[in-house]
Structure 1
Amino acid sequence: MKMKIEMIPEAELVYIQRRGSYGLGNIQTMEKLKAWAMVKGLLNDESIILGVPWDNPTVTKPEDCRYDAGLIVSDVQQISDDDVHIGRISPGEYAVFVIDHTAESLERAWSNLFLDLSKQGYQLDGSRPIMERYAARMVKNHRCEICAPIR
């Protein structure tokens, strides 16, 4: 996988969280967020959506795995909805992997991520989550990114 190192700044986001096995439910949560954001007029060509799987499914029971579908926003003051929460992205250095925006490519990337980091001499920073980043400009070209926090 192609990798670059990037400093990701702190940012505010709105998100919807679900619990359960990773997979189809994550996609449904992402679609729910996008529909909500479209109604609120928050989606445009500059939008960045994040998928954040908080738990390792090899050590966390599938029904307890948490997944956030989030949208980076500039003004959270206008947000009020029971299903939508407000959060922040922790700033820091990330290894960013650019991949095709397909289920197969995402699955392959997640399988190879830790080995690829190790081969490049980087160590994962467990204090920040790994994020799938879907920038509108990249998704239009059928690409997305996995951002792994490093130290």
Structure 2
Amino acid sequence: MDIRVERFEATSILYMRRVGEYGRENNTLMSRFKEKIQGINTNQKTIYGIAWDNPQITPSEACRYDVALEITSDETIPEPNDFLFGKIPGGHYMVLLFPHFTNDVQKAMESFPAILQAKGYTMDGARPIIERYRQVLVDKDLCELCVPIL
């Protein structure tokens, strides 16, 4: 697994949200989101899966998960009533590159606490954990898990 640290700038996004236990329904939201953004050129864009809550301390029925697309202020958004608008917070993130398959995403989520500790980082619990899907990596069956660090 390739691991590095990146500084993210705050990024404007449009997104769809679901609230409930993390898992299979997140994939359903991702599929629905991709259908809704058909009118936007996404080949040069990044799609994010954003886990806002820690399921170890937040009741599963209250966990928030967003699927988002970075946008610029001059873009026309199809069916804007289907989307919310917001920002991904900037800051430093430990970025883990791994295969883009459901089991591998789960393994990355399970392994990052030990990696944080081994690298001497502390997770910033005020910012979300982000799955980053850049098209250049998705084309190679890869994605990134971005863990906010202090």
TM-score (norm 1): 0.92
- Give me the whole-angstrom Cα distance separating, in 1, the residues matched to 2:131 and 2:3: 14
**What letter matches 1:88 in structure 2?**
K
- Give me the whole-angstrom Cα distance separating, in 2, the residues matched to 1:62 and 1:128: 18
- Give me the whole-angstrom Cα distance separating, in 1, the residues matched to 2:33 and 2:74: 15
Q: How far 1:130 moved relative to its partner? A: 1.0
- Asked whether the equivalents of residues 101 and 142 of structure 1 are also in contact (C-alpha less than 8 Å), the reply is yes
2:20 matched residue in structure 1? 20
2:100 matched residue in structure 1? 101
Secondary structure at 2:81 match in 1: coil
- Give me the whole-angstrom Cα distance separating, in 2, the residues matched to 1:23 and 1:48: 21
2:29 matched residue in structure 1? 29
2:62 matched residue in structure 1? 64
- Asked whether the equivalents of residues 15 and 84 of structure 1 are also in contact (C-alpha less than 8 Å), the reply is yes
**What letter matches 2:118 in structure 1?**
K
Q: Is structure 2 residue 51 aligned with structure 1 residue 53?
A: yes
Secondary structure at 2:72 match in 1: coil
Gapped regions of structure 2 (runs ≥ 5): none
Q: Is structure 2 residue 110 aligned with structure 1 residue 111?
A: yes
1:128 matched residue in structure 2? 127
**What letter matches 1:14 in structure 2?**
L
- Asked whether the equivalents of residues 52 and 127 of structure 2 are also in contact (C-alpha less than 8 Å), the reply is no
Secondary structure at 2:114 match in 1: helix
**What letter matches 2:31 in structure 1?**
E
- Give me the whole-angstrom Cα distance separating, in 1, the residues matched to 2:125 and 2:55: 15
% identity of equivalent residues:
34
TM-score (norm 2): 0.93
1:81 matched residue in structure 2? 80
Gapped regions of structure 1 (runs ≥ 5): none
**What letter matches 1:28 in structure 2?**
T
- Asked whether the equivalents of residues 76 and 86 of structure 1 are also in contact (C-alpha less than 8 Å), the reply is no
Q: How far 1:76 moved relative to its partner? A: 6.4
Secondary structure at 1:27 match in 2: helix
Count matched residues.
149
Secondary structure at 2:21 match in 1: coil
Q: Is structure 2 residue 2 aligned with structure 1 residue 2?
A: yes
- Give me the whole-angstrom Cα distance separating, in 2, the residues matched to 1:134 and 1:14: 15
